[in-house]
Amino acid sequence: MLEIQEQVSNVKVKIKGVEYALTAPTAGDLEDMEASLAGGAGQVKTVIEFLVSLGLPRDVVRSLTSDQMRLIVDTVSGTKKN
């Protein structure tokens, strides 16, 4: 189960009962991720590296489904539709 709590400057993600506080990405972080995707970098690898840079352990990120990764990225980037 994936649960996300938004706060002013960070996002808390609870995965399998463990809570992780992610740092909010800067505009530069988001720009770098978009540039990596546009430059032909592997999409999944780019998203994994992005989530790791926000504070999620790599093994946790690798255990997420694509929908869960998308939900986290949409939430931290401000593109999540309520």
pLDDT digits (tens, 9 = 90+) for 37-73: 887 767 888 899 999 999 999 999 999 998 899 899 8
On average, the pLDDT of the chain sits at 84
Query: Are the beta carbons of 27 and 33 closer than 8 angstroms?
Result: no
Q: What is the pLDDT of residues 3-17, one digit of tens each?
A: 776 655 678 889 989
Which neighbouring-strand residues pair with 15?
Answer: 2, 18
Spans of all domains in the chain: 25-82
Q: pTM score, two decimals?
A: 0.75
How far is 12 from 3, CA to CA, in rounded Å?
Answer: 8
Query: What integer pLDDT is reported at residue 60 of this predicted model?
Result: 94
β-strand 18-23 against 2-6: which pairing, if any? unpaired
